[in-house]
Structure 1
Amino acid sequence: MSFPAACCNTPPVKANYTAKGQKSTVGNIQCYFTGPADSHRAIMVNYDVFGYHANVMQLCDILGDLGYRVVLPDLLHGNPLTENDLGTPGVFAEFKDTRGSWQTTKPMYQTVIGYLKDNSASSIGLLGFCWGSHLVVSALTELDGLRGGAIVHPALIADGDLGKVNAPLLAIPSKDEPDFQDDFDSLKQKSFFSKCHMVRFDDMFHGFCGARGDWSNEVQAKRANDAIALIVKFFASVM
């Protein structure tokens, strides 16, 4: 799949959207699947702390329409965080150290990736939003055989984390994220650095491309489409 064709054929996001994929269970994990089941290219998507959301599922469907087998596992088992949770002191801190930690979610990553490999996928990439970006970076650091990962308005990224990944990385921070430039530049020593990219969306807020995005807003929808175009181009280059 060449990027120009993929980019031109990528539909714009819609404000009101009904997902067109299907849900099924992998191990004890409910997953949303979209795209051709026999595709050799697969993308595992990690939602943000708000769980299944129409915006993220729409993005999954866009990638599925481009020929990828896309899986969105419900890593929070139907119990995502809410806006009220985030406003309650201590709730998020406990979340990130317990059920939202890499230690807890790593076995689920391994289960889903193993399932994809057992079902035609020979090329696997990762996509994560917010908290999910932390898990994607952890997976690219510790798990073998991944072709690359894209992280969108990433959260919980510590100094030095990006430099540890072992596969190409696309980073799309918003105005609300720290300056990752030094950490990103440390990737220059990696053999795959030519496929790594970071594009800041300093006119957008944390969550614009995920559950906090209002895609009935023309500006937000346009910038979400710009981010998706970058994601499409990235995966076309590494898979």
Structure 2
Amino acid sequence: MSFPEVCCNTPPVKATYIAKGARNTIGDLECYFSGSKDSKRGILVNYDVFGFHANVIQLCDILAEMGFYVVLPDLLRGKPLTEADLGKPDVFSSFTQNAGSWAVIKQEYAKVLGHFKDNGVTAVGVIGFCWGGKMVITALSELEGLAGGAIVHPALIETGDMAKVNAPLMVLPSQNEPDFTAEFDSMKDKPFFSECYMERFDDMFHGFCGARGDWGNAEQAKRANDAIKLLVGFFSRVLSK
């Protein structure tokens, strides 16, 4: 299990964005909140290895404008990977075994899911970018009560991962990810398979919808918007049942 080479060597894009939501905490976990707590449809967003980035904040706000209550937890506790870590495979390997491991992240997911429940949210979805895609796949396999999940230019996906999910899954790979056709088809016997969806963005690179996307570039912004539209459509369906 490893990151794509481009993930380990490509820096995040410097970007600015005026957030529409606000930061607060769930217990001791800092989070970015966007949207109305009155919404019954909640989405937990799992950022990529670069943590809170202007692009992911903006994506959260777009989802919130579509009627979802969105929570972006600071899963890495203020210590994301940085440009200084690029080109260091040992750092990325250590990350997956320690701060970025499911054993650690699972506890943080539980806090956010508890927050949704306490606020009357009745349907919860999860979105993961890069490393977050692995976390989402695992969450859909191990946690109860999730209505669906989406993984965008995911990393660390292994053979057999998708076959274990217990809720509808959307898969949006870029040109730098493997061919997930066989893995996606492994869900065909699931009762919810008709709600699953996969679309490749072979004209885009790993990270285009996250911290590595230059949304000042018209083509990259368009394709990121295309991906976001797919996410909105998917969660509008699976969180409305």
Q: Same fold (TM over 0.5)?
A: yes
Q: CA deviation at 1:16?
A: 4.6
Deviation of 1:202 after TM superposition, in Å, equals 0.5
* Deviation for aligned residue 1:87: 1.4
Matched letter for residue 77 of structure 2: H
Map Cα deviations across residues 135-190 of structure 1 (whole Å, 9 max, x no partner): 00000000011100011000011111011100000000000001111010011100
Matched, 1:224 2:228: no
Is 1:64 the equivalent of 2:64?
A: yes
**Aligned counterpart, 1:181:** 181
**3-state DSSP class of the match of 1:24?**
strand
Partner of 2:51: 51
| CA distance in 1 between partners of 2:217 and 2:151 (Å) | 23
2:222 is aligned with 1:208 = no
TM-score norm. by structure 1 comes to 0.92
Report whether the alignment pairs 1:28 with 2:28.
Answer: yes
Deviations along 1:40-91, one digit per CA (max 9) or x if unpaired, are 1100000000000010000100011111110000000111001221312300
Equivalent residue letter for 1:71: V
* Structure 1 counterpart of 2:109: 109
| Equivalent-residue separation in structure 2 for 1:84 and 1:189 (angstroms) | 44
Q: Residue 188 of structure 1: SS of its match in structure 2?
A: coil
Alpha-carbon distance in 1 for matches of 2:238, 2:172: 17
1:234 alignment partner, SS class: helix
Opposite residue 104 of structure 1, the aligned amino acid is: V
Q: Secondary structure at the match of 2:188?
A: helix
Distance of 2:41 and 2:225 partners within structure 1: 22
**TM superposition score normalised by structure 2:** 0.92
Matches for 1:73-222 after TM superposition, within 5 Å: 73-222=73-222
CA drift of 1:111 comes to: 1.2
Which consecutive unaligned segments of at least 5 residues does structure 1 have?
1-14
Q: How many residues align?
A: 225
2: distance between equivalents of 1:30 and 1:96? 21
Distance in 2 (CA, whole Å) between partners of 1:142 and 1:180 is 21
Tell me which amino acid in the other structure corresponds to 2:212. Answer: R
Distance of 1:87 and 1:27 partners within structure 2: 35
Cα shift readout 1:174-212 (whole Å, capped 9, x = no counterpart): 000011110100111000000000000001000000000
SS in 1 for 2:44: strand
- Distance in 2 of aligned mates of 1:81 and 1:16: 19
Q: Which runs of 5+ in 2 are unaligned?
A: 1-14
State the distance in 2 between where 1:85 and 1:44 align: 26
Q: Partner amino acid for 1:230?
A: L
Q: 3-state SS of the aligned residue for 2:184?
A: helix
Q: CA deviation at 1:238?
A: 0.2
**1:4 maps to what in 2?**
none
Q: Secondary structure at the match of 1:232?
A: helix
Letter in 2 for 1:207: G
Q: Secondary structure at the match of 2:146?
A: coil
Instruction: Give the residue type in structure 2 aligned to 1:186.
Output: S
Which position in structure 1 is the counterpart of 2:237? 237
Task: Give the Cα–Cα distance (whole angstroms) in 1 for the partners of residues 47 and 22 of structure 2.
Answer: 16
